[in-house]
Structure 1
């Protein structure tokens, strides 16, 4: 790999952006495809699939065969709300490879004793989230059921382009939430990305089961192409 390509790759990695090094197997010629350029690349379909899976591999046939070396940042999950569901969700998410952070200004709930091995920030989202630098490889899970806590986090996640944004609450509660968020100037296309009621519809009846439903939905949002996600919703 030449120095210019390596420098460009490291720049993308430092900024937590996806990048793929495409190596033509017959000639050894390499090129870098940045995340923002994937959809316009001749190998867009193969590269998109590799990035979703987070897995490098060979694409193409015959003389056109290439190796796709995929570089994607570790997926993160920010859980707003130090509640019972979060206590079940945090270790499950860590076990599947997510870096998890709990945010909740309620210091009675946001404690290291309740969330061992998980970073806990006992601050309001508007203070905590800028330091976390939300990005397209971050999932936002809002679970407090308190508009003053959840909605600033949802707004920040939508503006940052988080790959998953979900919120606890009934359809009625969510309809009122959508009205308040729309009043802040968020476009309907962004608001439509919020998963609410949160989680896959598996009939979950207790906090651990709800955590499973949420994690399944988050994984689907990261790994499935958009049409498949919509069919499964």
Structure 2
């Protein structure tokens, strides 16, 4: 999925309100299609829409087909070619082809299944919506590669489609330092929801981080309150053991996909000693990326932020 949205929830609400609803999902693309596989459009029986399957190129045609599908209680597979002219209008250099699966809620997509999907998304639980010859179901296991890559698509049989619904990415930064001032806006552009934790209010101020979510908690308390999961990256920038170590202890007991800690090689060696004395194994401590960031010869806060975001991306997409 792209940035997190409420499209399935909207479809469910329209259905329960008696309007009728359908979900249209991009299931396959060729060429420079405007929207990636897994993108969705919700359509109500009153022609209300939310979301997009083509950036505006073919939405009108999809809505017309969806209204018929809702009335007739059947699913339909649509295929459209997006012309070069239409593609240019939505910011692409050339056109492409998309296939869109339209599934009315209730008659085709079971209401209780859609409700479970909505609940899973709200609870930040990664889930796959599987549609094929074996029916429709939700699966939380067996699609690790797809979850990691946010990659919806057909299975090898060419008939079973897997739509990945991942929670939005989060980046929790401990330490409202200069690097954080560069990293937070970069991460937001990259699709992360950034949160800052720093009990030092002079550092974590509105003036230094305008409009950002800032918690003035002790790091371990803040992390427990937020909750840690597979779609969370933790970035430690204080290189102060009083602040970093409590956060590291929480993180190493969780399944966050990335842990990075600022500091020199010598600083990290001392960190390893402290964590070993605290009872953590070599494998557990090995999850920490320290010194933080890819070695790109970064100089200054902004370049260090680039190296951190690059390392987070590599771990997210390729694994540790």
TM-score bin, normalised by smaller chain: 0.7 to 0.9
Equivalent position to 2:174, from 75, 80, 102: 80
Q: CA deviation at 1:185?
A: 2.0
In the other structure, the counterpart of 1:42 is none
In the other structure, the counterpart of 2:136 is 30
In the other structure, the counterpart of 1:57 is 153
Higher RCO by CA contacts (8 Å cutoff, separation 6 or greater): 1
Equivalent position to 1:208, from 287, 302, 317: 302
Question: Runs (4+) of structure 1 moved beyond 4 Å?
Answer: none
Give deviations 1:115-147, integer Å, cap 9, x for gaps. 112111122112222211111111000000100
Q: Does 1:21 align with 2:129?
A: yes
Higher strand share: 2
RMSD: 1.6
Q: CA deviation at 1:172?
A: 1.3
Equivalent position to 2:161, from 42, 61, 67: 67
The TM-score, its normalising length taken from structure 2, stands at: 0.63
CA distance in 2: counterparts of 1:14 and 1:185, whole angstroms: 35
CA distance in 2: counterparts of 1:129 and 1:51, whole angstroms: 23
CA distance in 2: counterparts of 1:95 and 1:29, whole angstroms: 38
CA distance in 2: counterparts of 1:32 and 1:122, whole angstroms: 38
In the other structure, the counterpart of 1:117 is 211
Give deviations 1:49-69, integer Å, cap 9, x for gaps. 32222232222245xx21111
Q: Does 1:166 align with 2:260?
A: yes
In the other structure, the counterpart of 1:184 is 278
Q: Does 1:218 align with 2:305?
A: no
Q: CA deviation at 1:4?
A: 4.2
In the other structure, the counterpart of 1:41 is none
**Structure of greater Rg:** 2
CA distance in 2: counterparts of 1:200 and 1:159, whole angstroms: 24
The TM-score, its normalising length taken from structure 1, stands at: 0.85
